[in-house]
Amino acid sequence: MGRPIMIQGTMSDAGKSFIAAALCRIFRQDGYSVAPFKSQNMALNSFITPDGSEIGRAQAMQAEAAGIDPSPLMNPILLKPTTDTGSQVIVNGQVRGNMRAAEYFRRKKELVPDIMKAYDTLASQYDIIVIEGAGSPVELNLKSDDIVNMGLAEMVKSPVLLVGDIDRGGVFAQLIGTLHLLEPHERDMIKGLVVNRFRGDISLFDEGISILRKLSGKPVAGVIPYLECSLEDEDSLSSKLSKSDVTGLIDIAVIKLPKISNFTDFDVFSQYSDVSVRYVSDAARLGRPDLIIVPGTKSTIADMKWLKSTGLDEKIKSLASKGTLVFGICGGYQILGKSISDPFGSEGGGSTDGLGLLEGETVFGIEKCQRRTQGCFTCGGTFAFLDGASFSGYEIHMGTTRDSGTPLTDCGGSYSGSVAGCYIHGIFDSADVSGRLIRHLFERRGLTYSGTSTDRREFREKQFDLLADHVRRSLDMDLIYRIIREGI
């Protein structure tokens, strides 16, 4: 059976996902077979595995770092918030239904057999299992039924590394306070502390290491300097969603819908020099971008109504009428169409008009579409520059769209004038597609793009190696391997 090591954080966005990915790549480099695991994930960024299962995007990213195909075994429970008090519950990659938070918390212990079956199957196949916790392990009102932090660590008998984020301040309170609030037997399972995102001269923290050792009685496994790494963020806490300023020659504006999902679709554009990607939730800040993207959403009707309430709907339509390129992905594609209705209450029920920029009429059903997709663009007119470009990606959506418009690709979507949309997440990841689009945006400004086009998948491989080298230099890997060997 494979040996586990668990990464827990003192708070959300302490860096657990990236450290887990780094360890997956390091262990792979050192000759071990390794798999990621997160028992319960709450995120709107998700991924479709080769068998058509839906899991959190972070675990798919970590599997890529480990050099293996993502599997529903790596994330047996995924919660996708549909409202402030409810989520779609996905178990073993398939929709179990919508639940209010109170109902889910009453019933989540029923999912322990699913969690343990998934974990045990992985542990029988790999040498090391890198487990990621969620949020903080000392949310005291939730601890009694915990299945993702210390509760899971006890179930699978995993040693734990506790990560604090010094960049956000209060790292001593974060780490020592968390340890203080744990039960004694839980505290014993913490085998090392990690200080993440240190800026400046790291030698200035030597005294800090001594203080942490003295107050905690735990070894400090490492201090990891801050690193700008272009890999997928897990959820809406991502700092990229707060970027709203134009700094490049080309301005790409992504509409920051309240229930925005899979915004990692647009990370590829960060690879291109002189291109800015900003997230906009205010009509006054939209300006005159070169490209407007309406992204995916978990609550299409509610977010369409929000667009109307903010005035962004009229702003988008006005810019489209003047020739600004507009592209919708998944829920964004539905929003660009004529109408959206949810007769079965799949995402809350109701109906609304769309922006009417495309011919699509969307009706939500009971079944969810989850599939990998590959194809090519088959378009002319304003989007002729994409004709023949190939792509691969995946679809995740409840609705079915009847679209009588001009086909955009050989597997769906449409375009009209300067507006286009489709269901395919990851459609921009290929160098052919993103490169053609960026070059076209430069040409529309009378400029020539002189940089190169990079396939997103090849770029991520380099980022994994960069991240692994950075973390390996910062952690005491002899200690890490000893912790894994000795367990709890």
User: Residue 38 corresponds to which tokens in the numbers above?
Assistant: 């997160």
- Residue 466 CA to residue 453 CA, distance in Å, equals 20
Choosing from 330, 379, 411, 422, the catalytic residue is 330
For this structure, is 330 an active site residue? yes
Cβ 417 vs Cβ 381: under 8 Å: yes
Choosing from 24, 379, 411, 425, the catalytic residue is 425
- Residue 190 CA to residue 137 CA, distance in Å, equals 11
CB atoms within 10 A of CB 385: 17
Closest CA to 90 of 68, 118, 62, 63: 118
- Residue 77 CA to residue 84 CA, distance in Å, equals 19
The continuous run of DSSP H or E covering 8 comes out as: strand 3-9
- Got the DSSP string for 142-187? TGGG-SSSHHHHHHHT--EEEEEEGGGS-HHHHHHHHHHHS-HHHH
> Angle 165-167-171 (CA atoms, 0-180°, nearest 5)?
50
Q: By 3-state DSSP, what share of the chain in percent is helix, strand and coil, each rounded to 5? A: 40, 30, 30
For this structure, is 185 an active site residue? no
- Residue 384 CA to residue 257 CA, distance in Å, equals 29
> Angle 347-244-459 (CA atoms, 0-180°, nearest 5)?
80
Grouping H, G, I as helix, E, B as strand and the rest as coil, residue 69 is coil
- Residue 114 CA to residue 94 CA, distance in Å, equals 12
- Residue 299 CA to residue 427 CA, distance in Å, equals 21
CB atoms within 10 A of CB 475: 22
Give the residue numbers marked as catalytic: 330, 425
